[in-house]
Each structure stands twice: as structure tokens, then as C-alpha cells.
């Protein structure tokens, strides 16, 4: 049965998967008033029991028991298992928050989307960078700008945590989702290249995208670079805007016609100004879950819904196919 939680009651929620990201889910959900964290499940029973003891919640013996005890779930298992757990949760009447990517194939993505729609439950996909304060500020800054080109860099050292997805679905998909939210025009052309370094999947990828509107985008994703970089920039007709995801900083460079003549020996001209945008700090995961809670309680729209997540996945798969062909 689909939850009928009132606007005044916390939403009963449970976490499926207590790996690195799952533990973050547990931490944040345990702190939010909008949720009542009831338990967790993991095929690693010892890990689930350890986290359950930490938060004073139940470690469910089966995922079916978890579905029966809660109104919403967060699915934080390997991407290849997203459809299995998300579809079952929807059929059990639970609202579903599934980490990105929504799935690894379009068929699996459609299965999740269709199940949630058929069962009348909310579906939100964890494209967390949409809630990054720097990206929120960037969006506000360029709202009235005519963007010409966008550039994204997402570079990391190698880490063995992800073993069922390439760097495209693992890292680049974050920026593809942001790009899709900023540019609504259909994609006209994609060029891409990549390399396998430490795994049998792409560990480095570069992509150029041209939209039918004429806007251009470049994206670089790496899990073999010995420095962590998360940056986005937008070139418009009147400004150059940069955002750093890690420092939550945004700067705007604008052209100016300012000049000052103090005589033949002292003349000054300033060709541009740099503005530092005030960025209110808030943990993205907290903001993301607050959005999920509001959508469940008020039956409102979801910012990172199944359709937008599917679009990002579709672009990822096309990039991988181009890299494979090249």
C-alpha cells in the first residue's frame, strides 16, 4: 500500500546497502526531522548489524521485511542491482530514492520508471550535484545569460570502490545531468574518446557535445588522475562564470569599460572585473533528502526524476558506444 504520510508526520525510511554511500545515507537520514529511520539491509549481514547498532535501528533479515516496515527506501547497492531492488520496492508500495546512475541499461531504467508510475510512488534519482551549493549559485548567476559554451572537469585518483561501471556512468554522468538541466536544446552531435587504464572499462573519457541551439559543451572525467578536481565553467556573451564543486566557490568575470585619466603620467584602464559570489553552504545530500521528503509529503514534483536520469544515462551510453567505435 502506498504511504499516506501526513505533512506533520516523519516518513518511515530504510536504507538498502550500507557501503560507503549507504553509510552517508544513514548518517543524514538519522539527523533529518522529516524522516524516521527504521532500519537497513545489506547482503553483508555483519555490516548491516554494525550500522544498525550505531543508529539504534533494525537490521532486517530480508529486503521483503524491510519493504513491509517502511514507507520509503533509498537504494544504495551496485548500479547493476538498482532495478532489482527499486522495482520490488515500488511494487511493495514504497517511495523510491535510487542512487545514480538510475541503472546501467535503458531497459532497466524504464523498468524502474514504469514500476514507480504504475504503483503511484515517487521516484527520485541521486544526482547529488544538482544540490551542490556552487551549482545552485551557478544556475542563479547564468539564469539571464546567453550561454555559448560550458566546460566540466571531474578528475579523481583511482579507487576500487566502483567495479561495475565505467568512468562515464560513475563520474561523467554527474556533469551530464547538470548540463542537461542547464541546456534544454536537443543534442545534435557527440564526439568522444576514452582509455582503459586500471580496469576493463573506460577509466578516462573526454566528450564534446554540440546542441541544436548551437551551444557547445566539453566534459572530461577521469579516475586515474592524481588530483581531485571538480569544476564547471560557462562562457556567455557578457561573462565567464566558474564554479568549484569542492570549495563551493563561484566567480564571475565581466568586461568593463572603466577608465581613469589622471594626466599623461598616470592613466588607468580596467578591462574586466571579477565578482566572488556569496554561496550559502549546505550539505548536498541533506538538501537532496529534504527535496525527496517534500515531494513525498506534498505529492509535488521531483527535481531529479526518472525522466531526467534516463536522459543522462542515454547520453552516457552513446558516449561509451562512440568511444568503443573509436
Confidence category of residue 164, pLDDT binned at 50, 70, 90: confident
Residue 89 has pLDDT above 90, yes or no: yes
User: Which residues are registered as beta bridge partners of 14?
Assistant: 39, 73
Per-residue confidence (pLDDT) for residue 207, from 0 to 100? 98
H/E segment holding residue 281: none
pTM attached to this predicted model: 0.89
pLDDT, average across residues 92-114? 97
At residue 276, the pLDDT reads 85
Query: Is the pLDDT score of 140 beyond 90?
Result: yes
Grid cell of 54 as nine digits: 550505531
What architecture (CATH level 2) is domain 130-280+312-325? 2-Layer Sandwich (3.30)
The whole-number pLDDT of residue 325 equals 80
Listed by start position, the domains of the chain span 11-121, 130-280+312-325
Average the pLDDT over 109-118 and give the result.
98
**What was the pLDDT predicted at 7?**
61
pLDDT digits over 3-54, tens only?
A: 445 566 899 999 999 999 999 999 999 999 999 999 999 999 999 999 999 9
Grid coordinates of 251: 566567480
CA distance 112 to 59: 25
Greater confidence (8 vs 215) lies with 215
Task: Give the DSSP H or E segment for 63.
Answer: helix 63-69
pLDDT digits (tens, 9 = 90+) for 308-323: 999 999 999 999 999 9
Work out the percent of the chain whose per-residue pLDDT is above 70: 91
pLDDT band per the 50, 70, 90 thresholds, residue 193: very high
As a whole number, mean pLDDT of residues 227-249 equals: 95
**Could you tell me where the beta strands, DSSP code E, fall in the chain?**
11-16, 35-41, 58-59, 72-75, 95-99, 123-126, 147-155, 187-195, 204-211, 216-222, 229-236, 239-244, 249-255, 259-261, 267-269, 272-277
Q: Is the dihedral of CA 164, 114, 318, 207 positive or negative?
A: negative
Residue-wise pLDDT for 61-73, tens only, equals 999 999 999 999 9
Cβ 147 vs Cβ 236: under 8 Å: yes
Say yes or no: domain 11-121 is CATH 3.40.50.2300. no
**What are the tens digits of pLDDT across the range 265-293?**
555 555 678 888 889 889 999 999 999 99
Mean predicted lDDT score pLDDT of the chain: 92
Q: 162 falls in which pLDDT band (50, 70, 90)?
A: low
pLDDT at 115 over 80: yes
Tell which residue, 236, 244, 212, has the closest CA to residue 144: 236
pLDDT confidence band for 264 (50 / 70 / 90): low
Amino acid at each position: 500500500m502506498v504511504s499516506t504520510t501526513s505533512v506533520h508526520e516523519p516518513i518511515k525510511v530504510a536504507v538498502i546497502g550500507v557501503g560507503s554511500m549507504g553509510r552517508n545515507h544513514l548518517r543524514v537520514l538519522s539527523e533529518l526531522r522529516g524522516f524516521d529511520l527504521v532500519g537497513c539491509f545489506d547482503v553483508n549481514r555483519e555490516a548491516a548489524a554494525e550500522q544498525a547498532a550505531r543508529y539504534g535501528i533494525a537490521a532486517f533479515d530480508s529486503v521483503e521485511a524491510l519493504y513491509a516496515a517502511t514507507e520509503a527506501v533509498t537504494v544504495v547497492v551496485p548500479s547493476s542491482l538498482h532495478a532489482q531492488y527499486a522495482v520490488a520496492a515500488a511494487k511493495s508500495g514504497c517511495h523510491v530514492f535510487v542512487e545514480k546512475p538510475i541503472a546501467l541499461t535503458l531497459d532497466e531504467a524504464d523498468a524502474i520508471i514504469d514500476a514507480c508510475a504504475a504503483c503511484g510512488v515517487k521516484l527520485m534519482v541521486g544526482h547529488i550535484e544538482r544540490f551542490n551549493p556552487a551549482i545552485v549559485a551557478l544556475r542563479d548567476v547564468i539564469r539571464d545569460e546567453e550561454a555559448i559554451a560550458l566546460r566540466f572537469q571531474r578528475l579523481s585518483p583511482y579507487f576500487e570502490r566502483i567495479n561495475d561501471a565505467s568512468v562515464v556512468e560513475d563520474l561523467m554522468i554527474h556533469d551530464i545531468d547538470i548540463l542537461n538541466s542547464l541546456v534544454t536544446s536537443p543534442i545534435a552531435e557527440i564526439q568522444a574518446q576514452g582509455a582503459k587504464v586500471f580496469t576493463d572499462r573506460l577509466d578516462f573519457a573526454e566528450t564534446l557535445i554540440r546542441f541544436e541551439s548551437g551551444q557547445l559543451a566539453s566534459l572530461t572525467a577521469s579516475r586515474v588522475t592524481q588530483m581531485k578536481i571538480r569544476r564547471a565553467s560557462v562562457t556567455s556573451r557578457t561573462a565567464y562564470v566558474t564554479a568549484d564543486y569542492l570549495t563551493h566557490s563561484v566567480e564571475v568575470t565581466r568586461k568593463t569599460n572603466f577608465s581613469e585619466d589622471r594626466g599623461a603620467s598616470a592613466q588607468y584602464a580596467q578591462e574586466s572585473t571579477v565578482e566572488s559570489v556569496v554561496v550559502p553552504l549546505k550539505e548536498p545530500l541533506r538538501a537532496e533528502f529534504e527535496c525527496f521528503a517534500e515531494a513525498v509529503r506534498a505529492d509535488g514534483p521531483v527535481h531529479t526524476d526518472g525522466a531526467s536520469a534516463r536522459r543522462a544515462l542515454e547520453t552516457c551510453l552513446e558516449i561509451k558506444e562512440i568511444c568503443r567505435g573509436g
